[in-house]
Amino acid sequence: MNKCAVLLVRNKDLISESIQGKTLFEYTMDTLKTASIETVYYCGNDREDDRLTVSSSYKELFNELSDEEGRILLVDIDYPFLCPETLTGMLESEGNLVLADYVNITDVFALEKKDLNHLDELFFDQMPFSDDAEKIHITDAASLAEAAEFERKRISRGWLEKGVRFEDPERVYIGHDAEFGSGVKVGLDVSVTGKSVIGENTEIASFSRIENSTVGSYCLLGQTIMKDSSLGNRVRIGSYTEITAGCEIAEDVTVGGFTSLRRVSVGKNSAVGTHCSLSFTRIGESVRIGSGVSAIDPDGGDDDLVEIKDYAYIGNNVILVAPVTVGEIAAVAAGTTLTEDVDDGDSVIGRTRQMTRKGMGLEYIAKESKR
């Protein structure tokens, strides 16, 4: 027999509110799916979802369904922590079940379809709750915050049981879709959200934020902001580093602290120094980049690219002006402003020769002191 449900919404302002990165709508739909509910009816045109069968009004829908045989669920998104087993038990039970002690079609029911148009005649049995979490009812911002805190603790506790080690489980924010390997260590006030995956035995320092990113195994992350990016295995990231906008960093790479990477790919065994600012840059394998290196685009566009090929060396405080390519086994001396390509195996220096003017410093100080 086809299992079906009607999705009810008491307050449409809450439908898109989220708990640990997952909306109340998604909580309810995922629960219905796990409970093997094949058809979900919804009244309104504000939701575009392939899982929904949309109807213009409850009255029209109830008139149509009441001619059919079998039982149906009426489920409100106000109860995000209902268990699939509870909903399945309601469908398999006899009589009409309601979640509240009053008749209101914006709660949760299991009833015969023929009774859809006679909700005022329902009688009340006890709901088959499996735990107290199912009783959490969201009606406003305060109850939403309480539910979020409950879910935060529940998610953290679940990962603790799987071998993830938190410095303080009360001071982490783990999203509903985040995944961790065994042996991961997480510091204080760390946020891991979206579809992030953290490999086994990786360490994440306090105050890091990771969103929709993949981190390999045996990595060591200092205080890091990471978004929409990926790290291979055994990557080391210094503190106060930002890695965003689709960066791809291969295995055995080191990135120094106070560095910003945006749309950067780094080949395996390469190293990027501290205080670097690189964007739209492709770095090969076994490349060494010193501290204070910048890649800039003079026209402010996003199409120009800096490419540094395998085994190249970039000295400290080099400015790479896109578009420019540094060839294999090439070297760029410290302090160079690079505006032209460097061929394979070549070395380049592009800075002004030092000039010394005897006594000029003393003259300047004497002049300034008279002002």
- The 3 state secondary structure assigned to 179-227 is EECCCCEECCCEEEECCCEECCCCEECCCCEEECCEECCCCEECCEEEE
CA angle 184, 205, 266 (to 5 degrees): 85
Residue 50: CATH number of its domain: 3.90.550.10
Q: Among 135, 168, 200, where does a domain finish?
A: 135
User: Is residue 26 in a domain?
Assistant: yes
DSSP state of 251: T
Residues contacting 126, CB < 8 A, separation 6+: none
Residue 352 near residue 335 (C-beta atoms within 8 A): no
User: Is residue 227 in a domain?
Assistant: no
Query: What is the pLDDT at residue 6?
Result: 85
User: Is residue 261 in a domain?
Assistant: yes
User: Is residue 196 in a domain?
Assistant: no
CA distances (Å), 35 to each of 30, 58, 134, 192, in order?
A: 9, 23, 15, 28
User: Is residue 230 in a domain?
Assistant: no
Residue position matching structure tokens 């390999």? 216
Which residues of the chain carry a pLDDT beneath 70? Answer: 1, 97-108, 119-131, 298-304, 371
Tokens coding 61: 């829908």
CA-to-CA distance for 333 and 228, rounded, in angstroms? 33
Residue 314: CATH number of its domain: 2.160.10.10
User: Is residue 223 in a domain?
Assistant: no
Query: What is the pLDDT at residue 106?
Result: 55
Residue 29 near residue 9 (C-beta atoms within 8 A): no
170 three-class SS? helix
Query: What is the pLDDT at residue 208?
Result: 96
Residue 258 near residue 242 (C-beta atoms within 8 A): no
Cis amide linkage into residue 323, ω under 30° from 0: yes
User: Is residue 238 in a domain?
Assistant: no
CA-to-CA distance for 166 and 133, rounded, in angstroms? 23
Residue 136 near residue 80 (C-beta atoms within 8 A): yes
What's the gap between Cα 351 and its chain centre?
43
Q: What is the CA radius of gyration of the chain?
A: 30
DSSP 93-117: SSS-EESSSS--TTS-EEEEGGGGG
Residue 356, phi then psi, degrees to nearest 5: -115, 130
User: Is residue 170 in a domain?
Assistant: no
Tally of domains in the chain = 2
Residue 72 near residue 87 (C-beta atoms within 8 A): no
Residue position matching structure tokens 């996003």? 302
- 3-state helix vs strand vs coil in the chain, percent to 5: 20, 30, 50
Residue 119, phi then psi, degrees to nearest 5: -65, -25
In the chain, the amino acid numbered 157 is: R
pTM: 0.75
Tell me the β-bridge partners of 109.
Answer: 74, 98
Q: Among 88, 116, 135, where does a domain finish?
A: 135
Residue 156 near residue 172 (C-beta atoms within 8 A): yes
Domain that holds residue 45: 4-135
Query: What is the pLDDT at residue 332?
Result: 93
DSSP alpha helix (H) spans, the chain: 24-34, 58-65, 84-92, 141-161, 360-369
Q: Among 135, 168, 183, where does a domain finish?
A: 135
Query: What is the pLDDT at residue 216?
Result: 95
